[in-house]
């Protein structure tokens, strides 16, 4: 079975439902994981999404902030949502893919504010606590069901590698690429021996971005990007991955998100 899985921080699904429609019609993902939907469950545009061919929808929303949603052409079984670090924020939802022993975790890790010091900036402290709690959860059995393989996708808000940012040296003290964040994400990756599927296809010595700031007058010309969006799998799915596509063109669409979609294709047994 072929599976085309996409992840995208949409930055308000109601505002950008037209962009979702454009993306879906062009790239036809089987499963689309959205982050930062910025609406409560009852205000999610279910009818519009179903009209695009996604009858199976799981939403964990929040008024005005955060929120995640997983849309699928294939049947889904809800696997719950976790309140990592006790924040009460809508940042995680898990589903099992119908007919397959695959669980998909859709995740939106906190951005962390602007100051990389948890004493001066509680948002940064929350981000580190969230990643620690997530790491402990997976290490303690969050992905321990050996009858299933796991996929974790979403906006992790950390660009861990040197070439995941436009300038490693200049961003070492900028939130999303600081050594302490990278260390936390490295521990998360080790918690279930996660495989970074994107870097399976794009070598670590090549630049790879999924986010470009709204602050840039010409994002394409300056190209000061970061790879904040990720697709990870447990080791049993590493051999099933066939390709990865970063839809960079979406950053140039009218009224875009500052993130672009990432697509991974799998051949599942």
Structure tokens at 238: 């590493």
pLDDT of residue 269: 81
> Residue 70 belongs to what domain range?
2-267
pLDDT of residue 141: 76
User: How many structural domains are present in the chain?
Assistant: 1
What does the radius of gyration of the chain's CA atoms come to, in whole angstroms? 17
| Over residues 50-55, mean pLDDT | 98
Is pLDDT of 147 > 80?
A: no
What H or E segment, with its residue span, contains residue 246? Answer: strand 241-246
pLDDT of residue 94: 96
Going by pLDDT thresholds of 50, 70 and 90, the confidence category of residue 146 is low
Q: Do 244 and 197 touch, CB atoms closer than 8 A? A: yes
pLDDT of residue 99: 85
| Over residues 207-225, mean pLDDT | 96
Determine what percent of the chain is predicted with pLDDT higher than 90: 93
| Over residues 238-248, mean pLDDT | 96
Q: Do 70 and 95 touch, CB atoms closer than 8 A? A: yes
Q: Could you read off the pLDDT of 75-88 as tens digits, one per residue?
A: 999 999 999 988 89
What is the CB neighbour count within 10 angstroms for residue 263? Answer: 20
Three-class secondary structure of residue 218 per DSSP: coil
Q: Do 268 and 3 touch, CB atoms closer than 8 A? A: yes
**What letter does residue 165 receive in the DSSP assignment?**
B
Whole-number Å distance between alpha carbons of 161 and 110: 19
pLDDT of residue 140: 85
Torsion sign, CA atoms 77, 133, 59, 3: negative
Beta-ladder partners of 68: 35, 60
Whole-number Å distance between alpha carbons of 8 and 210: 9
Query: Of the candidates 269, 252, 132, which has an alpha carbon nearest to the alpha carbon of residue 261?
Result: 252
Whole-number Å distance between alpha carbons of 94 and 78: 6
Helix residue ranges per DSSP H, the chain: 17-27, 46-51, 122-137, 179-191, 197-201, 219-222
**What letter does residue 160 receive in the DSSP assignment?**
-
Q: Could you read off the pLDDT of 103-122 as tens digits, one per residue?
A: 999 999 999 999 999 999 99
Q: How many CA atoms lie within 13 A of 33 on its CB side?
A: 28
CATH number of the domain bearing residue 115: 3.60.10.10
Query: Of the candidates 246, 161, 170, which has an alpha carbon nearest to the alpha carbon of residue 211?
Result: 246
């Amino acid at each position: 079975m072929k599976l085309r899985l996409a992840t995208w921080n949409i930055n308000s699904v109601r505002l950008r439902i037209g962009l979702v429609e454009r993306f879906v019609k062009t790239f036809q993902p089987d499963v689309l994981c959205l982050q930062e939907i910025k609406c409560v469950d009852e205000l999610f545009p279910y009818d519009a999404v179903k009209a695009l061919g996604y009858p199976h929808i799981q939403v964990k929303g929040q008024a005005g902030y955060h929120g995640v949603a997983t849309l699928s052409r294939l049947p889904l079984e809800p696997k719950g949502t976790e309140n990592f670090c006790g924040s009460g924020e809508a940042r995680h939802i898990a589903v099992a893919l119908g007919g397959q022993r695959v669980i998909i975790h859709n995740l939106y890790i906190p951005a962390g504010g602007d100051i990389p010091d948890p004493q001066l900036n509680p948002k940064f402290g929350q981000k580190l606590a969230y990643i620690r709690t997530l790491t402990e959860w997976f290490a303690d059995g969050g992905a321990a069901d050996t009858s299933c393989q796991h996929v974790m996708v979403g906006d992790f808000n950390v660009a861990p590698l040197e070439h995941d940012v436009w300038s490693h040296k200049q961003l070492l003290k900028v939130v999303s690429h600081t050594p302490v964040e990278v260390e936390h994400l490295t521990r998360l990756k080790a918690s279930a021996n996660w495989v970074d599927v994107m870097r399976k296809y794009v070598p670590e010595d090549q630049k790879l971005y999924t986010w470009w700031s709204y602050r840039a007058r010409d994002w394409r010309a300056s190209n000061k990007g970061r790879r904040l969006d990720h697709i990870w799998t447990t080791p049993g799915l590493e051999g099933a991955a066939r390709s990865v596509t970063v839809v960079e063109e979406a950053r140039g669409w009218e009224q875009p998100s500052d993130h672009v979609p990432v697509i991974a294709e799998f051949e599942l047994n």
